[in-house]
């Protein structure tokens, strides 16, 4: 399912992590009856944060963050930088040749590109296959008829900046100023509708309106007045 992240900027998250570790300094005092529960809570929090940092090394990209810069080679060997698309709305899409949902999503990405490229939008596809399977990438791109840029992240250094867990597919939508507006994780059929709505909003469109509710079938609507009794 598409996961839409809306979270505080990186600075706020880093400050929260720092405050949590500073709070763990209270562990240097003996556990007492009154403070034991609090000290145990701090200990568990510190252990959890240590585990997360050990597993992932960093927090994933979130809305309101500025997208990390990168330069990679495309499938034709040309160097491409994120800064080449400055001022555009960019959908960064991470994928791999062995990822079935990634391939299912590709026709929709191509349609987005064809529909909105003249409005200042592009898809920046980033393949994460390693050197052993990267030879399959170019034939796959050709067979799918993809015409947007496809870059190779063989060392997975770029996806590590955006999504340390490296789950696929993984999409990041950037506004014209380079800030992250939405993050999409995973794909199942039908979710392309939500992605396209987000693209339209980033291009300057309006937020999708809530569907109208027919008062006749809305249980929360005021009941219709009862007919007047016959005299």
Give the tens place of pLDDT for each residue, 88-112. Answer: 999 999 999 999 999 999 999 999 9
Q: Please, what is the Cα angle at 100 between 139 and 113, to 5 degrees?
A: 65
* Residue 120 pLDDT grade (very low, low, confident, very high; cuts 50, 70, 90): very high
Residues 139-198 have pLDDT tens digits of 999 999 999 999 999 999 999 999 999 999 999 999 999 999 999 999 999 999 999 999
- Residue 225: pLDDT band (50, 70, 90) is very low
Query: What residue spans define the domains of the chain?
Result: 10-56, 71-202
Cβ-based neighbour number of residue 140 at 10 Å: 18
What is the Cα–Cα distance from 193 to 190, expressed in whole angstroms?
Answer: 6
Helices (H), the chain: 10-23, 36-56, 100-116, 137-144, 157-162, 192-202
pLDDT, the chain, mean: 77
Give the pLDDT confidence score for residue 96 in this predicted structure: 98
Q: Which CATH superfamily is domain 71-202 in?
A: Glutaredoxin (3.40.30.10)
Could you give the CA distance from residue 196 to residue 21 in angstroms, rounded to a whole number? Answer: 40
As to burial, measured by CB atoms within 10 angstroms (0-12 exposed, 13-18 middle, 19+ buried), residue 11 is: exposed
């Amino acid at each position: 399912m598409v996961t839409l992240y809306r979270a505080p900027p990186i600075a706020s998250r880093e400050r929260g992590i720092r405050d949590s570790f500073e709070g763990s300094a209270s562990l240097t005092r003996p556990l007492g009856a009154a403070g034991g529960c609090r000290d145990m809570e701090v200990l568990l929090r510190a252990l959890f944060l240590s585990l997360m940092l050990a597993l992932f090394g960093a927090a994933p990209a979130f809305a309101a963050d500025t997208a990390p810069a990168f330069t990679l080679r495309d499938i034709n060997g040309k160097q491409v930088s994120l800064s080449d698309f400055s001022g555009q709305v960019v959908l960064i899409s991470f994928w791999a040749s062995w990822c079935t949902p990634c391939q299912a999503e590709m026709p929709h990405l191509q349609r987005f590109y064809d529909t909105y490229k003249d409005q200042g939008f592009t898809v920046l596809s980033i393949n994460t296959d390693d050197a052993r399977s990267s030879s399959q990438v170019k034939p796959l791109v050709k067979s799918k008829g993809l015409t947007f840029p496809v870059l190779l992240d063989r060392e997975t250094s770029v996806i590590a900046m955006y999504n340390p867990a490296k789950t696929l597919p993984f999409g990041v939508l950037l506004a014209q100023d380079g800030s992250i507006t939405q993050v999409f994780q995973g794909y199942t059929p039908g979710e392309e509708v939500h992605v396209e709505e987000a693209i339209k909003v980033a291009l300057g469109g309006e937020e999708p309106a809530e569907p109208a509710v027919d008062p006749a079938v809305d249980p929360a609507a005021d009941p219709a007045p009862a007919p007047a009794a016959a005299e």
